[in-house]
């Protein structure tokens, strides 16, 4: 399946049905009076976050979504049927922006969350609505109100607890494959990973979290070099970042500083996230070389550096438990804060989700 994390769509809710102008006509019944029914309401446009999706590729092939128009009212006081709603199903973590790509409308950060993007127009009143003691035979009805239309941007930020960052060929995909059931592409050349990958890490039945691997970052990425910072948004929601450094390369301190510089240039809170620095590929180093490499990185970053090998598994469990401790702290903090999602639930779609 192709990966797509940004797309532009057009939506339009349905117009309301017009009211009817009708008079009762029956044999042997005089002065039947007005009996024009009201028009039906136009369909709404809803967006719903569902499990089982991890890309917006469905919106690559269809960008226009229009809800049904309400049926016009009819004689004998028959009201028109409401138009069918449209429900857009998106992955959990999808954000909806205005056409300016800056104004956030809603952040669908948990499964089942729904939001009304466009409300359908109200149906018009039939002439039976206007009858009264003064005007007993009204000959006018209201047209239905027009629906709403707008262009929107959808942006996906994957939901993950821990993010993997590092230079190309730092061993991030190998680490992800060794710690989860994910099967990312692994090869001996840079930029093997072209799209984000997710894996679920199971340390024990009570210790589980989602690990995200994004393509390697190079110097100047914030200015568009390499793959740029296009995929850094997928680790914005994480509780902690694992910064993997290839222990076999030269200038290890410079490698750490490069990634930190790009995270700070990107902003969005990534520079303030908890960071666990790990020296990877230690299976290819002698004990003396390991000590020297760790000392060099610690001098650059100013805190403890862990030693791991995604191939041999050395130090992996300790690193994962350190990351899980940060995840637990984040979950405890969020569990105390009440959710304040701005969700419009005045008109929930009847009958559950529809394809």
Of 150 and 236, the structure prediction assigns the larger pLDDT to 150
Reported as type and span, the H/E element at residue 258 is: helix 252-266
Q: Which stretches within the chain are classed as H helix?
A: 58-61, 172-179, 252-266, 287-301, 316-336
**CA 64 to CA 57: how far, in whole Å?**
14
88 forms bridges with which residues in the sheet?
47
Tell me: the pLDDT tens digits for 170-201? 888 888 888 887 777 676 656 666 678 888 88
198 forms bridges with which residues in the sheet?
212
**CA 71 to CA 74: how far, in whole Å?**
9
Give the pLDDT mean for 18-41: 90
Task: Identify the pLDDT of residue 5.
Answer: 86
Q: What is the DSSP letter of 133?
A: S
High-pLDDT (> 90) share of the chain, %: 49
pLDDT at 215 > cutoff 70 = yes
Q: Mean pLDDT, the chain, as a whole number? A: 85
- C-alpha pair distances (Å), 110 with each of 99, 113, 149, 261, 347: 24, 6, 26, 31, 20
Task: Identify the pLDDT of residue 194.
Answer: 67
- Domains of the chain in start order, with CATH, are 1-156 (2.70.210.12), 162-336 (3.40.50.300)
DSSP-derived 3-state class of residue 119: coil
Tell me: the pLDDT tens digits for 73-87? 999 999 999 999 999
Instruction: Read off the pTM.
Output: 0.78
Tell me: the pLDDT tens digits for 38-52? 999 999 999 999 988
Residue with tokens 């009440």: 338
Record the tokens describing residue 51, joined without a space.
């499990």
Give the pLDDT mean for 308-314: 89
């Amino acid at each position: 399946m192709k990966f797509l994390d940004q797309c532009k769509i057009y939506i339009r809710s349905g117009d309301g049905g017009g009211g009817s102008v009708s008079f009762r006509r029956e044999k042997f019944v005089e002065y039947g009076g007005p009996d024009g029914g009201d028009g039906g309401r136009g369909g709404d446009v809803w967006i719903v976050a569902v499990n089982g999706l991890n890309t917006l590729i469905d919106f690559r092939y269809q960008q226009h979504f229009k809800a049904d128009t309400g049926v016009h009212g009819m004689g004998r006081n028959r009201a028109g049927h409401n138009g069918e709603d449209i429900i857009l199903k998106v992955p959990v973590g999808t954000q909806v922006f205005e056409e300016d790509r800056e104004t956030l409308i809603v952040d669908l950060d948990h499964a089942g969350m729904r939001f009304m993007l466009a409300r359908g127009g109200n149906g018009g009143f039939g002439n039976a609505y206007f009858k009264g003691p003064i005007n007993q035979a009204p000959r006018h009805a209201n047209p239905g109100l027009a629906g709403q239309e707008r262009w929107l941007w959808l942006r996906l930020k994957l939901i993950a607890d821990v993010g993997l960052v590092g230079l190309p060929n730092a061993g991030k995909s190998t680490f992800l494959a060794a710690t989860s059931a994910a099967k990312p592409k692994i090869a001996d050349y840079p930029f093997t990973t072209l799209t984000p990958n997710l894996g679920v890490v199971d340390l024990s039945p009570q210790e589980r979290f989602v690990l995200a691997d994004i393509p390697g970052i190079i110097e100047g990425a914030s200015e568009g070099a390499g793959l740029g910072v296009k995929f850094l948004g997928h680790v914005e929601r994480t509780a902690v970042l694992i910064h993997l450094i290839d222990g076999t390369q030269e200038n290890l301190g410079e490698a750490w500083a490069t990634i930190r510089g790009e995270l700070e240039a990107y902003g969005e809170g990534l520079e303030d996230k908890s960071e666990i620095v790990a020296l990877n590929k230690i299976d290819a180093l002698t004990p003396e070389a390991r000590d020297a490499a760790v000392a060099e990185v610690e001098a650059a970053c100013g805190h403890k550096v862990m030693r791991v090998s995604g191939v041999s598994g050395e130090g992996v469990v300790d690193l994962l438990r350190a990351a899980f401790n940060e995840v637990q702290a984040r979950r405890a903090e969020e569990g105390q804060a009440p959710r304040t999602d701005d969700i419009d639930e005045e008109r929930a779609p009847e009958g559950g989700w529809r394809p």
